[in-house]
Amino acid sequence: MAGVLATIRSLYESLPLGQRRVADYVLDHSDEIPFLSVHALSRAARVSTATISRFARSAGHASFKDFKRQLGKDARESFNGIYHAITARDSDEQIIEKVFSGNVQSLEETYKLVSLPGLIQAAKAIAQSSRTVFWGIGSSGNIAQDAAMRFSQLGMPAEGCSDSYRMLTYAFSLKKGQVAVGISHSGRSAMTLEALKLARQSGAKIIGISNYLKSPLQPISDVFLCTSFPESRVKVAALSSRIAQMCLIDALYLLVARHTRGMLAAAEKLNVHTEEILRLPGRSPSQ
């Protein structure tokens, strides 16, 4: 089950303005919330008590009381506590600690948030696909290219694309029995969404990867995988969310290898061969 804060961050863009104000206050004062009454939070966030009740329901809880109880439980079970934003006052050591802490938290929350049955379903679709295309814009495009390279190493027909025009070309050429994987941190990349809609109309199965549960990418995906990164706290989330995105790609890669006869052994053989090359005279893992 996803943590309360991870769920709030993934829903943030879809919340009405009043509920966003509650979300902002909760994210910035999460350690205080379990001890506040609904009226105290209402005054602090400058919203009505009804808005707080609606916010609690949007986050998946029957009442604000249930919301507080789960938030307190999450705090007790948290491995590394609340991830605070990097500031100009931080020392070098503090910045390093926050970067590692944030990425650890991102992976932990992504694991809780992502649908494991959905991840397995996506892997089976790719394993059975006659062609798989990964695409995204900007940093998501880099992830798409890397993902295509990984699956190609399994001998599978996989292509990566980060160019808007080529996305449309791929979309029109895809057909039933093939897969399009769209990667977008915001889930709102216009060209990525348009290309996926066209690919869906062509009969391809759509897999979407985003950082927001209710992004526009979610309803057009046959399988939707959600990452988690505390964007409201660290403004480099689109860059740092690559860690969670690549973790999902790694899981898909190994699941596909497992569901494709002989592929897992091939992947292991490739890894061993790579290690042998790196041990050759004059070579080092750092080269």
Residue 229: predicted pLDDT? 67
Residue 238: predicted pLDDT? 46
Please state, in angstroms and rounded to a whole number, the distance separating the CA atoms of residues 24 and 12: 9
Please state, in angstroms and rounded to a whole number, the distance separating the CA atoms of residues 285 and 102: 27
Residue 271: predicted pLDDT? 54
* Count of alpha carbons within 13 angstroms of residue 150, beta-carbon side: 22
Residue 105: predicted pLDDT? 78
Residue 259: predicted pLDDT? 81
Please state, in angstroms and rounded to a whole number, the distance separating the CA atoms of residues 32 and 12: 20
* 113-276 has CATH 3.40.50.970 classification: no
Please state, in angstroms and rounded to a whole number, the distance separating the CA atoms of residues 119 and 163: 26
User: Is residue 17 within 8 Å of residue 23, measured between CB atoms?
Assistant: no
Q: Which CATH number fits domain 4-78: 1.10.275.30, 3.20.20.100, 1.10.10.10, 3.40.440.10?
A: 1.10.10.10
Closest CA to 10 of 113, 156, 159: 113
Please state, in angstroms and rounded to a whole number, the distance separating the CA atoms of residues 73 and 219: 31
Domain layout of the chain by residue ranges: 4-78, 113-276
Residue 73: predicted pLDDT? 76
List the chain pLDDT tens, one digit each, 287 residues.
457 888 888 888 889 999 999 999 998 888 788 888 999 899 989 999 999 999 999 988 999 999 988 887 776 555 444 345 667 788 899 888 877 877 887 888 888 888 899 999 999 999 999 999 999 988 888 899 999 999 998 888 999 998 888 898 899 999 999 999 999 988 888 999 999 999 999 999 999 999 888 889 999 999 999 887 655 444 444 445 788 899 999 999 999 988 875 555 555 555 554 455 455 555 444 44
Q: Radius of gyration of the chain from Cα atoms?
A: 21
Tokens 């959600």 belong to which residue? 226
